[in-house]
Structure 1
Amino acid sequence: MTDALLRIDVSRIRTNLMTLRAHIAPARVMFVVKDDAYGHGVDAVAAAGVQAGISWFGSFDVPTGLRVRAVAPTARVFTWDVATDEQITAALAADLDVGVGDRHVLERVAAVARGRGIRIHLKIDTGLHRNGVRAEEWPDFVARAKTLQDAGDVTVVGIWSHIAEASENDDEEARTVYERAVDIARAAGLSPDVLHLAASAAGYDRSTFRHDLVRFGAFGYGVRSTDGPDIPGIAPAATLFTRVSAVRGDEVTIAYGSLDGLPTTLGGHITVGTPGGPQPLVRVDPATSVVAQWPDAAVGDTVAIFGPGILGESSATTLAEAIGTVGEEILVRVSPLVPREYIDPEARGARR
């Protein structure tokens, strides 16, 4: 593991976020930092978000939300997984916003927060079936939420959902379901002031999906959509480096393998960046991988497995496309045992 390093350029994250903010204005960016900020490290990434003027973060779970709160004391932090009463209590104490997409969760959150008006965002299922209240159950759900709000247990500040981003027609149908749900909630006496439906791709490309907030995850880290175009002003913030551990014949062994998080199926399908330019990745073994040799290859040479192209390496999304997945998966598979190094060229400093 000492030969591998994930180097994260926090100035690149700031630039990505400022680019996104400008592009979707007047809607705001909710910067999603789930899965330890897609493997980048939530503490440093959240701090970069604050520096970029981000006022909303999406944390998925409460423990991550508490880490964000520590570095972003005045930001709104939205978490949509409250697994236990203890986590609801912690969310309330840390002034987190909580996503609620189930009648039973609504009752439990209200019971724990009794009389303290915890801020909640109600989720309608628009067809993705990733949590959320079905349309036929929505009127009763929002009526119950209004009753609990009148009792002082919850404050409904938002309505949200996910969309499949499967096709324009499917997404338009989902938007229709969503906006009808907002109308029903308002007719029930609720006054949500934060509406958020879209994530990175739909929010970036389609203004009608932006509403008040767009939940940007992948794009904030410079990860483009699978089979999607590069985005002006957006570039990868993370580069995964390792070193050459052996040179034998026409093969070079590098100190990074499947146990470190590199999918074995990438062997024979991608190139990596080397001092000799892009070279084919021949295979992935448990502790090491094999790369085609380049002139003057030597033990100790640096190899970039993915990143913005410093040594001719491909992006995480390009790797993902080779095996039918998404760039985020390539990032989150990097072992937490791999050291993270944070650089900030604008501040001319680095730290681990």
Structure 2
Amino acid sequence: MTGPAHRAEIVVDLAAVRHNVRILKDLVSVDGPVQLMVVVKADGYGHGMVEVAAAARDAGADWLGVATLDEALALRAAGDHGPLLCWLTATGDDYAAGVAAGVELTAYSVAELEEIAAVGGARVQLKVDTGLSRGGAARDDWPAFFAAAAALEDAGRITVTGLWSHFVASDEPAHPANDAQEAAFREALALAEEAGLEPEVTHLANSAATLLRPSSHFDLVRCGIATYGLDPAPGTSPRIGLRPAMTVRARLVMSKAIAAGEGVSYGHTWYAGEDTTVGLVPVGYGEGVPRAAGNTASVWVEDSLRPIRGRVCMDQLVVDLHGELPRPGTEVVLFGPGDLGEPTAQDWAEAVDTISYEIVTRIGGRLVRRHVDAEVEGTTR
């Protein structure tokens, strides 16, 4: 491990982010003038929101997307001035600050529209629920929702700039919800037009739909996980050359021999079947390492996969070194791009029965995050 002598760190390659954004822009450009929104919510899926946003803009991202108004305002404070959509506001949020910062706000209901309109001058996108049963106006409310938006726009109190929705199962191309939702979204577009609305952008596709469902691209696609180089539909997505941007690594604290029959970590959920050696890695669930990774996931030490033995603790975990005794300070890679054979975030997701989104977003805690640029520095290490 080069660079500062951190015991454990997250390394994010911004060159990989730019590479992925360019690939995604090229992919949707075959459909004509389709814009790309890069989603940087949840601190850029654990990669660093401000840094990822700047890299995405450099690579040509037309829009950025965030969940909360605080995230949007943090991007503006960091110097971003491009199109920016926020979609998860709540009663009492400082809509005025968002409007003043040029953030486009999302409304789910007539009541929210009126609260935003009270500020004056807001650029608003309307979200409709086409089957996810989460945020967005319910189907029975669409006529009143669109009529209210049109009346507020006619009165000069808001400008309706977009209409959008979100897929239920775009990572499962054969799922019947996909066709049903796209049909519902087209119905919403028609009803909005009947109400006199002319949104500048309409969008439905997330990362998986961007890769798998061209018919859903409309004016804009929203790419989150694909931006970070992770597959939104493992085993189904076409290989388009995305590169994982995140590597998580640590330094071995110690290694030692244990005899056959000895147990490891809390509860002795694993016993050595033969004499072996184990190593102590100074990360645990306090850093966001899933506790369920005990006895299921592996790490990379000295060019070999080393399985985690026993339960993951708050601050540390133990790995099987198969009889070897690496020196303290030896690099341990929890997951990375996989270029050298190290586990990937997807490998970890499969090991603990979750999705790669959760693996990269939850990792952090006491880990130091460091950004590198392989295009400039020639290395991600």
| Same fold at TM > 0.5 | yes
How many Å separate the matches in 1 of 2:351 and 2:308? 12
How many Å separate the matches in 2 of 1:187 and 1:24? 29
| Partner SS state of residue 253, structure 2 | strand
Please tell me whether residue 222 in structure 1 is matched to residue 249 in structure 2: no
| Structure 2 CA distance for partners of 1:6 and 1:30, relative to 1, 3 Å | same
Identify the residue that residue 122 of structure 1 maps to in structure 2. Answer: 126
Bigger-Rg structure (1/2): 2
Counterpart mapping for 1:172-251 below 5 A = 172-225=179-232, 227-229=234-236, 231-249=239-257, 250-251=277-278
2:38·2:63 contact (CA, 8 Å) conserved in 1?
yes
Identify the residue that residue 94 of structure 2 maps to in structure 1. Answer: 87
Identify the residue that residue 309 of structure 1 maps to in structure 2. Answer: 338
Identify the residue that residue 256 of structure 1 maps to in structure 2. Answer: 283
| Partner SS state of residue 112, structure 1 | coil
| Structure 2 CA distance for partners of 1:179 and 1:237, relative to 1, 3 Å | same
What 5-or-longer segments of structure 2 have no aligned partner? 258-276
2:287·2:363 contact (CA, 8 Å) conserved in 1?
yes
Structure 1 stretch displaced more, 87-96 or 321-330 = 321-330
Amino acid at match of 2:61: I
Please tell me whether residue 342 in structure 1 is matched to residue 371 in structure 2: yes
Identify the residue that residue 53 of structure 2 maps to in structure 1. Answer: 46
| Structure 2 CA distance for partners of 1:329 and 1:137, relative to 1, 3 Å | same
Structure 1 stretch displaced more, 55-64 or 220-229 = 220-229
| Structure 2 CA distance for partners of 1:350 and 1:119, relative to 1, 3 Å | farther
Amino acid at match of 1:119: R
Note the alpha carbon deviations across 1:299-320, whole angstroms, 9 max, x for none. Answer: 1111110111255322112211
CA-based RMSD of the aligned residues comes to: 1.9
Identify the residue that residue 134 of structure 1 maps to in structure 2. Answer: 138
Note the alpha carbon deviations across 1:59-85, whole angstroms, 9 max, x for none. Answer: 111121122234564410000122355
Identify the residue that residue 298 of structure 1 maps to in structure 2. Answer: 327
1:122·1:156 contact (CA, 8 Å) conserved in 2?
yes
Note the alpha carbon deviations across 1:177-235, whole angstroms, 9 max, x for none. Answer: 11100100001101012011110001211110111111100000011125335632101
Please tell me whether residue 332 in structure 1 is matched to residue 361 in structure 2: yes
Q: 1:39: how far off?
A: 0.9
How many Å separate the matches in 2 of 1:350 and 1:248? 32
How many Å separate the matches in 1 of 2:316 and 2:194? 60
| Partner SS state of residue 347, structure 1 | helix
Please tell me whether residue 58 in structure 1 is matched to residue 65 in structure 2: yes
Please tell me whether residue 144 in structure 1 is matched to residue 165 in structure 2: no
| Partner SS state of residue 301, structure 2 | coil
2:288·2:365 contact (CA, 8 Å) conserved in 1?
no
Identify the residue that residue 159 of structure 1 maps to in structure 2. Answer: 163
Q: 1:296: how far off?
A: 4.2
How many Å separate the matches in 1 of 2:141 and 2:133? 14
Q: 1:112: how far off?
A: 2.0
1:13·1:48 contact (CA, 8 Å) conserved in 2?
yes
Identify the residue that residue 280 of structure 1 maps to in structure 2. Answer: 307
1:274·1:311 contact (CA, 8 Å) conserved in 2?
no
Amino acid at match of 1:178: F
Note the alpha carbon deviations across 1:147-183, whole angstroms, 9 max, x for none. Answer: 1111111111110011101543211100111110010
1:31·1:217 contact (CA, 8 Å) conserved in 2?
yes
How many Å separate the matches in 2 of 1:188 and 1:197? 20
| Partner SS state of residue 64, structure 1 | helix
How many Å separate the matches in 2 of 1:312 and 1:243? 18
| Partner SS state of residue 108, structure 1 | helix
Q: TM-score by structure 2 length?
A: 0.87
Identity %: 34
How many Å separate the matches in 1 of 2:189 and 2:241? 34
How many Å separate the matches in 1 of 2:233 and 2:317? 25
Identify the residue that residue 83 of structure 2 maps to in structure 1. Answer: 76
Q: 1:335: how far off?
A: 2.2
How many Å separate the matches in 2 of 1:24 and 1:226? 17
